[in-house]
Structure 1
């Protein structure tokens, strides 16, 4: 999706930070935007700033951990703008610092409730409507560099939530019909209320500008923070080294590959083997 003029966009967690900066990007491109967050006063401030240049913006109070509120958000967006074309699941919370063995289950669950299950609510509610409408749509989940490696020491609950979001978004990409684009936005440290080290983070507007370039290019992994490649290689190189030493490739080594076997035996109807090797179902 390259042209957003007249498109209807919903962004959660959009009163401040990355969500607000992305809203500004869409407004500048002529989109109609619903910004959602839990604090009405901050939403009103954000809407006032976004409409200074004539943007069409509506606000909705929403706690994404409550499925009924996400359903109400969808109802509001459809009734206000006649539909939705793009969903940005941006709302999230930061880590509750703790070592893995000392973490309180309730603290881990509270992070998962927002960063994973809250996003899942948005994907489910809006995704079902997107599938039914059969017109070009897009869903973007805001993950983190923590989708790929542990960037936050003693923040395993947060890192788990972002690793899980990568898994869920990757599965979503395979499952949706071709008219729905899916992407995973992976910020590193960006100036926002979520990050304690805001003075050291990437400029929020600069990050949002980079994100929009990749959204317009139809990318799945939407990235920033170039040094992350070093951290990613550290993990992947270790994994590849382990396979090279203890499970090296050989002729016919797909004999135990679950997806190869699934295609051969018809375990996953509708998902041909090529779909599991970088292509989406249908070859898109």
Structure 2
């Protein structure tokens, strides 16, 4: 058990999947949790789950691609809980499965604004608060596609490579400031995004399970466990790293 008692954690994209699992996991370890995302009904549902389990949480509707929203997210967190100790920048969107030469400018903007700009803006404002406190820890959601490529999703792959670069550069920049910055690299995980990526088709799901050496896709809680560890004092000498949670995918 990791003791996050007295600590405050923000989870972007906490409305479902990995984000929701991480928000619940932080609360179970004693953290006060701020759940953010664009979908208010789903966000409030995450908060309800945490409160029903005896935890403390609230929801802030946030579009991480909009700087005013991100700044408000941090300001409101500090206003209510007084500090920010942990941030899990998980909000993301998936790419269309199409040829690079067929993808419109709007698709580039959609993916990069959430997956890259959203992580950059979130870190930018989280770090400002953490510098005031003299400490903090950040985890960004990367992917197996931040390390290797998949031909069907070039823009999504590029966005996750960018998350890797942002994570490493920021980790180095703030290493002496008491702020640790890492990433988690999920393989295929049973989430809404996985359903979208596979079109909900059993054949596509079976294929995705089969390309992982463990022969299955992961569960959101399995990623959340890694995120919680990276956020904890047990990872006190870990920064600038990506912890793969991928059933062995990258090892092959």
TM-score, normalising length from structure 1?
Answer: 0.76
Bigger Cα displacement from structure 2, 214-223 vs 152-161 = 214-223
Q: Which residue of 2 aligns with 1:97?
A: 97
**Kept after mapping to 2: 8 A contact 1:23/1:35:** yes
**Kept after mapping to 2: 8 A contact 1:15/1:43:** yes
Deviations 1:79-120 (A, max 9, x none): 110111111100000112222222212211210000000111
Structure 2: runs of 5 or more not aligned? 210-216
- Partner Cα separation in structure 1 for residue 18 and residue 56 of structure 2: 19
- Partner Cα separation in structure 1 for residue 249 and residue 177 of structure 2: 30
Please state how far the C-alpha of 1:53 moved relative to its aligned partner.
1.4
- Partner Cα separation in structure 1 for residue 61 and residue 49 of structure 2: 17
- Partner Cα separation in structure 2 for residue 215 and residue 32 of structure 1: 14
Please state how far the C-alpha of 1:203 moved relative to its aligned partner.
1.6
**Kept after mapping to 2: 8 A contact 1:85/1:138:** yes
Alignment of 1:120-131 (within 5 A): 120-131=120-131
Please state how far the C-alpha of 1:43 moved relative to its aligned partner.
1.3
**2:202 is the alignment partner of 1:203:** no
Q: Judging changes above 3 Å, is the alpha-carbon distance between structure 1 residues 214 and 128 closer, same or farther for their aligned structure 2 residues?
A: closer
**Kept after mapping to 2: 8 A contact 1:22/1:208:** yes
Moved over 3 A (4+): 197-200, 213-217
- Partner Cα separation in structure 2 for residue 168 and residue 206 of structure 1: 24
Q: Secondary structure at the match of 1:6?
A: coil
Q: Secondary structure at the match of 2:193?
A: coil
Residue from 155, 159, 163 that aligns with 1:157: 155
Q: Which residue of 1 aligns with 2:189?
A: 190
Alignment of 1:1-284 (within 5 A): 3-134=3-134, 136-150=135-149, 152-176=150-174, 177-196=176-195, 197=198, 201-216=217-232, 217-218=234-235, 219=238, 220-231=241-252
Q: Judging changes above 3 Å, is the alpha-carbon distance between structure 1 residues 82 and 47 closer, same or farther for their aligned structure 2 residues?
A: same
Deviations 1:117-145 (A, max 9, x none): 011110111112212321x2011111111
- Partner Cα separation in structure 1 for residue 177 and residue 148 of structure 2: 30
**Kept after mapping to 1: 8 A contact 2:139/2:227:** no
**Kept after mapping to 1: 8 A contact 2:131/2:177:** no
**Kept after mapping to 2: 8 A contact 1:211/1:223:** no
Bigger Cα displacement from structure 2, 215-224 vs 113-122 = 215-224
Please state how far the C-alpha of 1:222 moved relative to its aligned partner.
1.8
- Partner Cα separation in structure 2 for residue 164 and residue 214 of structure 1: 20
Q: Secondary structure at the match of 2:158?
A: helix
Which protein shows a greater Rg? 1
Structure 1: runs of 5 or more not aligned? 232-284
**Kept after mapping to 2: 8 A contact 1:185/1:221:** yes
**Kept after mapping to 1: 8 A contact 2:147/2:161:** yes
Please state how far the C-alpha of 1:224 moved relative to its aligned partner.
1.2
- Partner Cα separation in structure 2 for residue 215 and residue 110 of structure 1: 29
Please state how far the C-alpha of 1:64 moved relative to its aligned partner.
0.5
- Partner Cα separation in structure 1 for residue 251 and residue 78 of structure 2: 43
**Kept after mapping to 1: 8 A contact 2:138/2:231:** no
Deviations 1:25-59 (A, max 9, x none): 11011000000011111111111111111100011
